Structure 1
Amino acid sequence: MAGTTALAAAAVLAGCTAGASGNESDTDDPIRIGASLPLTGPVADRSGPGYNGYELWAEQVNESGGLLGRPVELVVLDDGFDQDQVVSNYTRLISQDRVDLLLGTFSSALNLPASAVAERNGMVYVEPSGGAQEIFEQGFTRLFFAQPGTSETLPDRFLEWVESLPEDERPATAAFLTQTDPNTEPAVQGIQDGLEALGVETVYDDSYPVEQTSFDAVADAIGRAAPQVLIHGAVAEDGASLVQALQRVGFTPEVLFQTNAPTDTVNYPDSIGAENTEGIFTPVSWTPSAQFPGSQEFVEAYETKYGTTPNDDASSSFAAAQILQTAVEAVGEIDQDGIAEWLHANTVETIAGPMSWDERGVPQGSLSLAQWQDGRLVIVLPEDAAETSSVVYPKPAWVG
């Protein structure tokens, strides 16, 4: 049975049920906001900070007096990273718990079916994670992604960097590995297509299921192929597990690009060794040093409450809640259609920067390219957001 966590907080969201209208401040009843998160299972290390982002947002909103004069209560269910359970959870949140608003879950694999539940029930669905193009090809009108870009644009900055290298310094060979995930697979394929167009030869190409935990055989095969570039479509702990296996076989690629996993600024370096993070690339929606309005205040509040620095899972959840909050405040009542129409027509300022969406709910921007340097994850592209002008290349050999 899915677990339930309820956080009562005098928050910023007006009480909002589908079809509700009128002066929302006439009642003191809390606005119930529902979400399902994989708090257990293989991506629990990603959704934990995501839950914190929702929780911190609600507390801050509460302290400000609530939205439209009403308190907010978060109702969060655990789906254990199971697609059937996430469908059951969102169905329960809507029909049984009768929440007024929804926030999304983590990963494309879960948001794909969850967003369909929201659409069938006429509910706005702002998702913090899950940029697979498949999600946005469903024709939904109340779906919005709370990051600057999706998997469609994820390869762009990395390919831009490779293309910027003098031809005699560009890598000649590459290996591609991905978890079978609707977000990582097209992203890795996009990078492979781009590198091959630049003349880079593919010497290894494979995938693995979500339940795989041992990567020794994979690392051995990659080591024997000896690619200069290794592109890994990781989701969570599989990122560190592959690196550990590469360390055991003694193979260090000149370039290592992983999705998702390296953005965990606590567990990832702890797992592979802080020195070994040096030079690893990853796409990011946000970093703790971002200077967007409210971002540094978010970092300070998060560190004070949780005793650790937030990653972009935490910031994406906080931004998703900001987006929903801003739309409800602008509409002035809980009107699902009105909220969706307003979001399609406007730009929202968040801690991850300004966001706007097309008719599919796709954000009109792209992710940044970050790299681990001197124990920190820093943005290297695009130039207007870069925190450093230098790039570590080739990657130093594993130590320890």
Structure 2
Amino acid sequence: MAHPTRTPASSRPTRRGLAAVAGAGIAAVTLAGCLSGGSSGDDADSDDPLVIGISLPLTGDFSEPGKGVQRGYEAWASHVNENGGLLGREVELKILDDQSNADRVAADYEKLINQDGVDLIFGPFSTRLVVPAAQVAEDYGFLFVEPAGAAEEVFTQGFENLFYAAPAVAQDHYNHLADHIEALPEDERPQSAAYASMDDPFAQGTAYGLKDRLEEMGVETVVNEVYPPNTTDFSSIANKIADADADIVVGGTQYQDAVNLIVALRQLDYQPTMATFSTAPTNPEFPEAIGDQTEGILSPTGYTPEAEWDTNAEFVEYYTELNGDAPNEDEANAWTTGQVVAAAVEAVECASPDPECQQQLIDWLRDHEVETVVGPLTWDAEGRPQGAHLIQQYVDGEIKIVLPDETAEADFIAEKPPW
């Protein structure tokens, strides 16, 4: 089916021209065989597949979590199709590789919407990629639900179509840990803190959300280092942290950078009382990369396979059977993105690029709560979820929820054993 060139729905000009797309040469990953493209507007045939366009960092700096999001999206689509599809239509995913590049991700969504004529879109991974992608979606009037753009800058752009499919924004990820520390007697609280963060809005947002809370309690910041995303040598930063002998070390990290930093700190025999890192400790490869010294390491998470939310057990069983391992947070947030969009689609009974349909989807989500595998979600006017992250910790070699108390699977380890 041929697709007409679309004019951006927004009165604002697009930030990136369509010419950038023409020579992109982007390969597509499809879920259910060869794609013929989505249906356009009111001429949709109920027998046509419902095509969802996605751009993900399958190569480059964010490829590891990007592939996790891909697995989550594909598992969700497979599950939907086994249960009758959406509005009786089979779901197909058209996934492009943005190579962890902000310009490329914008070009990808221009192509998916304007050339491929997809019916719906899902968001990419990483705040760095979510912002330019969301701008394209806004320009064309598309609903934009995203699984991994939690930094505050995502929600201060004026987007009216964006929803984050997770329990909390980056600055709030450590709220339960901060509350726990604040409740301690003053002589049991850490007195000094060292921060090392990737130069990334999400990573810095998580670390600095905790930094703000600790400084309000009087915890002195003795190290505050920011490093480029491609950093592999952490010896200099580790030396500064070890020399300062901070009571707590806070890493605003993704995955490999956290592993490299911990290895560098261990080599210097720096032994903090508390150590917490975003993202990395919840990755299933983390214990193998770190070895036996994971005990006591903390991390915020928006998801656990053991959560008792209504649809979570079914998700875990289905995903594990499909992939051989239980899902982690990236896969869960991707599945949640699908749940959120599907709830709106089924409620308003439309799924097409038609501007009226897209606006109905957006309006419905503004006014409703959606039950998901990460819990019930609602959003403020800027798309921020109105919840909080759990705090996990390695206890007896396994990562367990330790905060808040009402959801704890194990007791909080107040003093981290040597690593």
Q: Counterpart in 2 of 1:272?
A: 290
Residues 169-200 of structure 1, C-alpha deviation per residue, up to 9 Å, x if partnerless?
Answer: 11111101111111222332222221122121
1:189 aligns with 2:208: yes
CA distance in 2, matches of 1:64, 1:182: 38
1:365 aligns with 2:387: yes
Pick aligned residue for 1:203 from 212, 215, 222 = 222
> 1:83-98, aligned counterparts within 5 Å?
83-98=102-117
Cα deviation, residue 122, structure 1: 0.6
CA distance in 2, matches of 1:236, 1:142: 30
CA contact (8 A) 1:231 1:257 kept: yes
CA distance in 1, matches of 2:279, 2:74: 22
Which piece of structure 1 moves more, 285-294 or 368-377? 368-377
SS state of the match for residue 8, structure 1? coil
SS state of the match for residue 171, structure 2? coil
Q: Counterpart in 1 of 2:274?
A: 255
SS state of the match for residue 394, structure 2? strand
Q: Where does structure 1 lack aligned partners over 5 or more consecutive residues? A: 10-14
Cα deviation, residue 357, structure 1: 0.9
Cα 1:2–1:255 shift into 2, 3 Å: farther
Pick aligned residue for 1:5 from 29, 32, 46 = 29
| RMSD value, Cα | 1.6
CA contact (8 A) 1:223 1:249 kept: yes
Q: Counterpart in 1 of 2:307?
A: 290
Q: Counterpart in 2 of 1:12?
A: none
CA distance in 2, matches of 1:222, 1:270: 24
Q: Counterpart in 2 of 1:133?
A: 152
Cα deviation, residue 155, structure 1: 3.0
Residues 334-379 of structure 1, C-alpha deviation per residue, up to 9 Å, x if partnerless?
Answer: 2100000000000000111100111111111121222121232222
SS state of the match for residue 303, structure 1? helix
1:331 aligns with 2:340: no
Pick aligned residue for 2:417 from 371, 390, 396 = 396
Cα 1:49–1:186 shift into 2, 3 Å: closer
The alignment of Structure 1 onto Structure 2 pairs a total of residues equal to: 386
Residues 82-137 of structure 1, C-alpha deviation per residue, up to 9 Å, x if partnerless?
Answer: 11111111111111111110101111111111111111111101101111111111
Q: Counterpart in 2 of 1:379?
A: 401
1:321 aligns with 2:343: no
Q: Counterpart in 1 of 2:367?
A: 345
CA distance in 2, matches of 1:326, 1:298: 16
The residue type paired with residue 134 of structure 2 is S
CA distance in 2, matches of 1:386, 1:91: 44
The residue type paired with residue 393 of structure 1 is A
CA distance in 2, matches of 1:63, 1:303: 16
CA contact (8 A) 2:298 2:392 kept: yes
Cα 1:260–1:284 shift into 2, 3 Å: same
CA contact (8 A) 1:43 1:237 kept: no
SS state of the match for residue 214, structure 1? coil
Q: Counterpart in 2 of 1:224?
A: 243
The residue type paired with residue 367 of structure 2 is A
TM-score, normalised relative to structure 2? 0.89
CA distance in 2, matches of 1:3, 1:157: 42
Cα deviation, residue 222, structure 1: 1.1
Residues 128-167 of structure 1, C-alpha deviation per residue, up to 9 Å, x if partnerless?
Answer: 1111111111111110000011023223112111112222
CA contact (8 A) 1:16 1:333 kept: no
Cα deviation, residue 54, structure 1: 0.5
CA distance in 2, matches of 1:132, 1:30: 34
SS state of the match for residue 204, structure 1? strand
CA contact (8 A) 1:42 1:236 kept: no
The residue type paired with residue 183 of structure 1 is F
1:56 aligns with 2:75: yes
CA distance in 1, matches of 2:61, 2:350: 38
Q: Counterpart in 1 of 2:298?
A: 281
CA contact (8 A) 1:43 1:236 kept: no
CA distance in 2, matches of 1:63, 1:44: 28
CA distance in 2, matches of 1:191, 1:234: 13
Q: Percent of aligned positions with the same letter in both sequences?
A: 41
Structure 1 stretches of 4+ with a deviation exceeding 4 A read none
SS state of the match for residue 259, structure 2? helix
CA distance in 1, matches of 2:236, 2:409: 37
CA distance in 2, matches of 1:298, 1:186: 29
Cα deviation, residue 236, structure 1: 2.4
Q: Counterpart in 2 of 1:240?
A: 259
The residue type paired with residue 358 of structure 1 is D
CA contact (8 A) 2:174 2:391 kept: no
Cα deviation, residue 290, structure 1: 0.9
Q: Counterpart in 1 of 2:322?
A: 305
Which piece of structure 1 moves more, 291-300 or 32-41? 291-300
CA distance in 2, matches of 1:249, 1:308: 35
